[in-house]
Amino acid sequence: MVRIGIVNVTGYMGAEAARLLHAHPEVELTSVTGRSAAGKPLGEVFPHLAPLGLTVAEELGEVDAIVSALPHAASAKALLPYIERGLPVVDLSADFRLRRVEEYEPWYGKHPAPELLAQAVYGLPELHRDEIAAAKLVASPGCHATAAILALAPAVKAGLIEPDIVVDSKTGVSGAGRTLGLSYHFSEANEGVSAYGLGGHRQLPEMTQELGALCEAPAPRITFVPHLVPMTRGILVTCYATLRGESTGATDRIRDLYRDFYRESPFVRVVDEPPATKQTLGSNRCFLYPTVDERTGRLIVVSCLDNLTKGGAGQGVQCLNLMLGLPESTGLDGTALYP
Amino acid sequence: MVRIGIVNVTGYMGAEAARLLHAHPEVELTSVTGRSAAGKPLGEVFPHLAPLGLTVAEELGEVDAIVSALPHAASAKALLPYIERGLPVVDLSADFRLRRVEEYEPWYGKHPAPELLAQAVYGLPELHRDEIAAAKLVASPGCHATAAILALAPAVKAGLIEPDIVVDSKTGVSGAGRTLGLSYHFSEANEGVSAYGLGGHRQLPEMTQELGALCEAPAPRITFVPHLVPMTRGILVTCYATLRGESTGATDRIRDLYRDFYRESPFVRVVDEPPATKQTLGSNRCFLYPTVDERTGRLIVVSCLDNLTKGGAGQGVQCLNLMLGLPESTGLDGTALYP
Amino acid sequence: MVRIGIVNVTGYMGAEAARLLHAHPEVELTSVTGRSAAGKPLGEVFPHLAPLGLTVAEELGEVDAIVSALPHAASAKALLPYIERGLPVVDLSADFRLRRVEEYEPWYGKHPAPELLAQAVYGLPELHRDEIAAAKLVASPGCHATAAILALAPAVKAGLIEPDIVVDSKTGVSGAGRTLGLSYHFSEANEGVSAYGLGGHRQLPEMTQELGALCEAPAPRITFVPHLVPMTRGILVTCYATLRGESTGATDRIRDLYRDFYRESPFVRVVDEPPATKQTLGSNRCFLYPTVDERTGRLIVVSCLDNLTKGGAGQGVQCLNLMLGLPESTGLDGTALYP
Amino acid sequence: MVRIGIVNVTGYMGAEAARLLHAHPEVELTSVTGRSAAGKPLGEVFPHLAPLGLTVAEELGEVDAIVSALPHAASAKALLPYIERGLPVVDLSADFRLRRVEEYEPWYGKHPAPELLAQAVYGLPELHRDEIAAAKLVASPGCHATAAILALAPAVKAGLIEPDIVVDSKTGVSGAGRTLGLSYHFSEANEGVSAYGLGGHRQLPEMTQELGALCEAPAPRITFVPHLVPMTRGILVTCYATLRGESTGATDRIRDLYRDFYRESPFVRVVDEPPATKQTLGSNRCFLYPTVDERTGRLIVVSCLDNLTKGGAGQGVQCLNLMLGLPESTGLDGTALYP
């Protein structure tokens, strides 16, 4: 059994990683850390994790691979020693997602370990399967970015759309984490929808980097606006871009192209009916629904997933599987919890 | 006291009209109809309306003005005799919203009274205040359309944007009415977001008609995608269009232009912070937040309102006030219920 | 116009008082305070209250009567000078609800002004209408307590039940106020139900005091357990007690007795179908549904209301009306927002 | 691999059984039926179940054991031939829960196969583990009943409480199934709490039967009131009964007694902090929190579980495991989905 450690298990992303690794048949979760809760049984912080029988430690014990659920900056710093030792590391934070430090710093501030950027791989298996399998340091993508990039990659790569894209995202509140804030206070968030990040959201450069790499210059110009909706989990992204060439009857052709693109990807499903985030609850799946608005010649792609699973810890485990030489979907083929 | 009757009080729109008219100081709600519930006390259908002391009738009694909350087609048919008698009529259905029968029929089927279209006025007071005041037949706009048109009118009229517009709407479930359906079953709708109407939604032609009337040809090409979010009331629309001319520093200028445009409109507030639908709950207000994405040169306008109030019965009462020679906001200046 | 001031408008109870007083035809809300937000426009703290045009002050201006929405202890302290000046004061906190300081201190700690307890009146108009009308200091009851006392008073007074009562309450999250806490974090509170206050809840002594005053000694032995449910507003209390005497056919008789008891109370409705909290949303009404479980000879009474309105600021305004010599329901007869 | 068939997979209970059996390492779900959807791919009815690759059939294929998710009466009828053939059958309906036909018929109407009642076992493994292991026909308990019986069994068996019990239950809406109804329409159920079944609820006789069997006559007199709360999954039951003997300091003693009682039961956890339904989401666990209200000498037991899992299909699979000679928790040890 490969022994896995989770750094910072006390947030939602860490807890989701623990849930998934506990159910994983080929690895064993042996060590979890969390500064504020160090010394407590994990079941005291999260009663649903009591069956794991673990105690939250200050530092990781002996492990064979690591998943970090620390926030950015703190994550890079904490992972440095393990990366240097050559341990396989999946970082769920943003620290190693952007290839160039110049892209990172305007959004996140000073990078704690820019020298490591060169060896990090962007952990979206659907685009970087082989690189991930060969990597020691994988940066699991952001939740909005995962949904948007999967929605747009086939169209961008095939040159189907103008490089002028609107990404309108609707996310559940768990994406904001477990840290308290007035916007996430039940009585404020419940029964309301609002837009945020209108001045620019940190997951935008991931989208630009990954989609830009799939096409000729210039990089796509993306307007990205996330919205907070009153549910716990789930992201639904609606992408809009003008189609190049004939739009009449294009939907079927594009849906075929999408199916081809994701033929080897067990977690991406191109569907014929508009999907709902609920269909992905707790699962590692992403549903894509491309369709053409023939009145305006626009491609619309609806994409949805669970922000903590395929948009977070599930994708991290998917990468970990690849890094450990396991089939990509090991321990991840549970279906959604429905309803 | 002006005596008002509501046709079809037994749906959500009718019940909201009853709530507002009950609180109105200058009119009296004296008669309500509803086929299936005819003969029952209104308080049996809607316990919260028991204090009104009304009984649901098969036909309206003697009234001075009418609000219809029937569905399209049924509404035009039921209103015909009253319109012929010259009674002031506010129709909350779609029957008289589109000026040309050729626009109506592809979306709604055969029009029951096309001869009346010429005299009907689109009941958006912010654009048609004087015509509404002079009209006998007013068609209260759709909920998405109200939010989108108010969001875009100033920019379209001023020629600020290219006529290529994305309207992404997020609506609460009450917009689907009281008729049962699997999509609106609690266990299906709760904790999920989905897109619908991807093949084209009936409120699109209203947007095209009204925004098209504000600008030179050609009419704006609008892609409109509504989304169902797990809350009861509220619509938030996010509109995207490419700005003509310089975008740097444009936000303030555009916000001023919006404030000027709505200077005489008591229910539209242009705000400096992104609004939430919750801030409009049960009120007749619409909040607008225009901002510029300088990275891409796009204007983004966030617009929100309560779909049953400003997006429905509240706007109907606003029109009724104008038709009756009352101040536009009579009986409508209550603040939102918050939280 | 009577000028009213609200002390501490920046919580949910204060904001609800502002909404109701703004809609009140016989008083004017002229002054609002709130330590942390002093100097800010009220519309900056609560955008939905922007139409009131008020600025949050450090201290109240010149007013004729006061509503305090401060927490306990702070409230008594802040109100002292106004009470001494003889201004009519409605206190929404718990400071003046318990007649005896020995009842107060085990639950709330040292009382800041025990000498005032003698003149304070428990602000439940359905039980103390005349005393409230004659009082200068009225303590508006707790939200659970209002629901439970109204549910049980007729039965206790008539000696119908054994003095051994279970009160099981289900409350929306807004009752916990605007102060952040992990239990009220959206992702924790949403899609979950939990019991709290199992070691004893502060509103228990109010119930014992008020119901005890209606019957011969000994005072009723009440077990009270509140539960947090995932909604914003509303309380539903289910009360259980063994019926004295014959239970067969008792339901009708008891419902008549309840209707008699509340004949003069415009806000209490005894209903023939089990009510839902939703039917009271934003209104000042309380619905009561007494029924007998003939299998076990138990009286069950279901009671529901909006915790911020009839269970809080609405009841405060109802008391204020009585203190000002106005009809009890002035400004409070709006129907619930539904759905 | 043991081949399992699900009768009536198209409701929520059937779909939950499919989810759990798909994840089960020792059985294979090979056949599913559903009258209305016969012939359709399962993934068309439930997109989240598409990965199972099954088609809904009119009749079960060749299987080794059966789970029925049909409604009562229909279930007994459909299962008859399989029971006669001696196939292991778990019935999730109520048809075989009550031992005596005289208990069944007042609540459910004529029993379609009363001759089978004698061989049926009540499928609560915590009370009937050995009988279930030896049975061919097991009736999986109701969701409220599971929560209430687990909450009370240790106290009743030990003679700790008077046989006069209040069971106040709060359930998510999925318990009402997938069939449409106004009470389960999103806009009606959301943001509201209501009591139902006040004239008597069908799961009451299960509680009386099972708890009565644990104590001397007379059977406990139970008042049971379920409440609908606005969430999809989860049941929290609060039980109240007067303690016999000394209550001071009794909580610890009782908690120990509960822990002893459930020592061999992997899915029941006696906890030291009040639990939330959310901690059980999608898992087969039941959390119990017994505590004593020393003021009134009452035992309070809070019990919570997921109504579709431990309160439904999960418990069915737990029984199936026992019937197949597998460890009780095979395929069921996943932790809850949190948050």
Handedness of CA C51, C54, C55, C59 (dihedral sign): negative
* Shortest distance, CA A196 to any CA of chain B (angstroms): 7
A200 Ramachandran zone, left/alpha/beta (phi>0; psi -120 to 50): left
**pLDDT score of A328:** 97
D173 contact residues in B (CB cutoff 8 A): 186-187, 190
For the purposes of burial, counting CB atoms within 10 Å of the CB of A162, is it exposed (0-12), middle (13-18) or buried (19 or more)?
middle
**pLDDT score of B217:** 81
D243 bridge partner residues: D161
Q: Sorting pLDDT into bands at 50, 70 and 90, what band is B108?
A: very high
What token pair was written down for B51?
């204090």
Using alpha carbons only, give the angle D304, D322, D202 rounded to the nearest 5 degrees. Answer: 45
Tell me what the pLDDT averaged over chain B comes to: 97
* Shortest distance, CA A34 to any CA of chain B (angstroms): 29
Greater model confidence, C216 or D104: D104
Homologous superfamily of A2-141+310-323: NAD(P)-binding Rossmann-like Domain (3.40.50.720)
Amino acid at A315: Q
- Ranges of CATH 3.40.50.720 domains, chain C: 2-140+310-323
* Contact yes or no for D186 and B12 at CB 8 A: no
Amino acid at B210: E
Q: Sorting pLDDT into bands at 50, 70 and 90, what band is C297?
A: very high
Strands B89-91 and D235-243: unpaired
Question: What is the side-by-side strand order in the sheet with B137-139?
Answer: B56-57, B27-33, B2-7, B65-68, B89-91, B137-139, B121-122
**pLDDT score of B218:** 85
Only one residue has tokens 């979010």, namely B229
**Host H or E run for residue B303:** strand B298-305
Strands B65-68 and B2-7: parallel
Residue C32 has pLDDT above 90, yes or no: yes
- What number is the average pLDDT over the span D288-312? 98
Residue A64 has pLDDT above 90, yes or no: yes
B51 contact residues in C (CB cutoff 8 A): 285, 333, 335
**Number of other residues whose CB lies within 10 A of the CB of residue A166:** 25
**pLDDT score of C169:** 98
Between D47, D273, D335, which is nearest A22 by CB?
D335
Report how far residue D147's alpha carbon sits from residue D314's, in angstroms, rounded to the nearest whole number.
13
Q: With beta carbons less than 8 A apart as the criterion, state whether B301 and B155 touch.
A: yes
Task: Report which of B100, B292, B296 is spatially closest to residue B212, judged by C-alpha positions.
Answer: B100
- What number is the average pLDDT over the span A145-153? 98
B308 contact residues in A (CB cutoff 8 A): none
What token pair was written down for A291?
């369709």
Q: Which residues of A are catalytic?
A: 143
Dmax over Cα atoms in chain B, in whole Å? Answer: 63
**pLDDT score of C217:** 80
CATH class, domain C144-307, is: alpha beta
Amino acid at B21: L
- Residues B282-330: pLDDT tens digits? 999 999 999 999 999 999 999 999 999 999 999 999 999 999 999 999 9
Between C166, C279, C289, which is nearest D166 by CB?
C166
**pLDDT score of D286:** 98
Q: With beta carbons less than 8 A apart as the criterion, state whether A86 and A64 touch.
A: no
| Range B2-140+310-323 classified under CATH 3.40.50.720 | yes
- Residues D219-261: pLDDT tens digits? 899 999 999 999 999 999 999 999 999 999 999 999 999 999 9
What token pair was written down for A312?
């977070």
DSSP-assigned letters across all residues of D262-285? TTT-TTEEE-SS--BGGGGTTSS-
Strands A268-270 and A286-293: parallel
- Ranges of CATH 3.40.50.720 domains, chain A: 2-141+310-323
**pLDDT score of D35:** 86
Tell me what the pLDDT averaged over chain C comes to: 97
For the purposes of burial, counting CB atoms within 10 Å of the CB of D219, is it exposed (0-12), middle (13-18) or buried (19 or more)?
middle
Half-sphere exposure of A20 (CA within 13 A, CB side): 33
Q: Sorting pLDDT into bands at 50, 70 and 90, what band is D206?
A: very high
Task: Report which of B174, B179, B168 is spatially closest to residue B189, judged by C-alpha positions.
Answer: B174
* Contact yes or no for B236 and A227 at CB 8 A: yes
- Residues A195-212: pLDDT tens digits? 999 999 999 999 999 999
Interface residue A227 vs chain B (CB under 8 A): yes
Report how far residue B271's alpha carbon sits from residue C321's, in angstroms, rounded to the nearest whole number.
35
**pLDDT score of C55:** 98
Report how far residue D129's alpha carbon sits from residue A274's, in angstroms, rounded to the nearest whole number.
45
Query: How far apart, in Å, do the first and last CA atoms of chain C sit?
Result: 34
Residue A91 has pLDDT above 90, yes or no: yes
**pLDDT score of A217:** 81
Residue D319 annotated to the active site: no
Residue B35 has pLDDT above 90, yes or no: no
Instruction: List the 142-201 stretch of B: residues with Cβ below 8 A of C.
Output: 174, 191
- Beta-sheet strands, E only, within chain A: 2-7, 27-33, 56-57, 65-68, 89-91, 121-122, 137-139, 161-171, 194-195, 221-228, 235-243, 268-270, 286-293, 298-305
Residue A218 has pLDDT above 90, yes or no: no
Between C193, C242, C275, which is nearest D236 by CB?
C193
Interface residue A247 vs chain D (CB under 8 A): no
**pLDDT score of B219:** 87
Omega of the bond leading into C218 within 30 degrees of 0 (cis):
yes
Report how far residue D40's alpha carbon sits from residue D54's, in angstroms, rounded to the nearest whole number.
9
D334 contact residues in A (CB cutoff 8 A): 19, 22-23, 334
- Ranges of CATH 3.30.360.10 domains, chain B: 144-307
Between C187, C191, C289, which is nearest D232 by CB?
C191
Tell me what the pLDDT averaged over chain A comes to: 97
Interface residue B73 vs chain C (CB under 8 A): no
Report how far residue B137's alpha carbon sits from residue C170's, in angstroms, rounded to the nearest whole number.
47
Instruction: List the 265-294 stretch of A: residues with Cβ below 8 A of B.
Output: 274-279, 281, 289, 291, 293
Interface residue D219 vs chain C (CB under 8 A): no
**pLDDT score of A219:** 87
D170 contact residues in C (CB cutoff 8 A): 170, 193, 227, 229
Tell me what the pLDDT averaged over chain D comes to: 97
What token pair was written down for D66?
């059966």
- Residue D209's alpha-carbon distances to A66, C162, C294, D120, D196, in angstroms, are 52, 27, 19, 14, 22
- Residues A225-245: pLDDT tens digits? 999 999 999 999 999 999 999
- Residues D128-159: pLDDT tens digits? 999 999 999 999 999 999 999 999 999 999 99
- Residues C217-263: pLDDT tens digits? 888 999 999 999 999 999 999 999 999 999 999 999 999 999 999 99
What token pair was written down for B40?
């029952």
Report how far residue C11's alpha carbon sits from residue B300's, in angstroms, rounded to the nearest whole number.
32
**pLDDT score of A241:** 98
Q: With beta carbons less than 8 A apart as the criterion, state whether B337 and C337 touch.
A: yes
- What number is the average pLDDT over the span A92-98? 98
What token pair was written down for D267?
């899915």
List Cβ neighbours of D106 (8 Å cut-off, separation of 6 or more).
Answer: none
